[in-house]
Structure 1
Amino acid sequence: MTDSNYKEITALLCERLSALTNVDVEISPDTNLISQLSIDSIKLLNLIMEIEDTFDVSIPINALTDVQTVRELADLVYKIKFASS
């Protein structure tokens, strides 16, 4: 895993999640999307569309079923983006 690419993905996710939520929580890779940030399906889909546009990837909805934390979402994006590299 290229550290700089992974850090870029994680930083972008934290930034976007901060803008999407109204909670006063410091967002880190271990932050839970649902229990700590109250991300609902609409917010999640908006975030996924932004990620897809930013990183030029397509994230299958069924791949999100096991994603609970920012780190797991960053792992998924990284895997999809750089799997062919």
Structure 2
Amino acid sequence: MTDRQQIFDQIAQQIAPFNKKGVPLDEATTFAGDLEWDSLTVMDFVAAVEDEFDILITMNMQAEIETIGQLADAVIKLKA
């Protein structure tokens, strides 16, 4: 298993409690469109991801991240 796959899996675990509709998750799953999250849910999720990976995701980065794949890439960059 690659590091990126492991990070993706950890992100998927963090999404689970927020995935009320049971949307199948893949690289292209969007937070706003597919998961239908509001801004409060996004903030709670970002805090959970930051705690999980011990990173800080800036507001500018959050604005650019639309999919789970993009988030996985951002986590890899921030952990480097």
Q: TM-score scaled to structure 1, two decimals?
A: 0.82
The answer to which structure, 1 or 2, has the higher relative contact order (CA under 8 A, 6+ apart) is: 2
Counterpart in the other structure of 2:13: 15
1:18–1:27 contact (8 Å) kept in structure 2: no
Amino acid at match of 1:69: T
* Consecutive aligned runs of 4 or more in structure 1 exceeding 3 Å deviation: none
Counterpart in the other structure of 2:69: 71
Provide the secondary structure at the position in 1 that maps to 2:72: helix
Alignment of 1:52-67 (within 5 A): 52-67=50-65
Provide the secondary structure at the position in 1 that maps to 2:30: coil
C-alpha RMSD over aligned residues: 1.4
Please report how far the alpha carbon of residue 66 of structure 1 lies from its aligned counterpart in structure 2 after TM superposition. Answer: 1.4
Aligned residues: 80
> Structure 1 CA distance, aligned partners of 2:71 and 2:37?
13
1:32–1:70 contact (8 Å) kept in structure 2: yes
Amino acid at match of 1:32: T
Please report how far the alpha carbon of residue 24 of structure 1 lies from its aligned counterpart in structure 2 after TM superposition. Answer: 2.9
> Structure 1 CA distance, aligned partners of 2:51 and 2:23?
26
Alignment of 1:25-64 (within 5 A): 25-64=23-62
Please report how far the alpha carbon of residue 56 of structure 1 lies from its aligned counterpart in structure 2 after TM superposition. Answer: 1.1
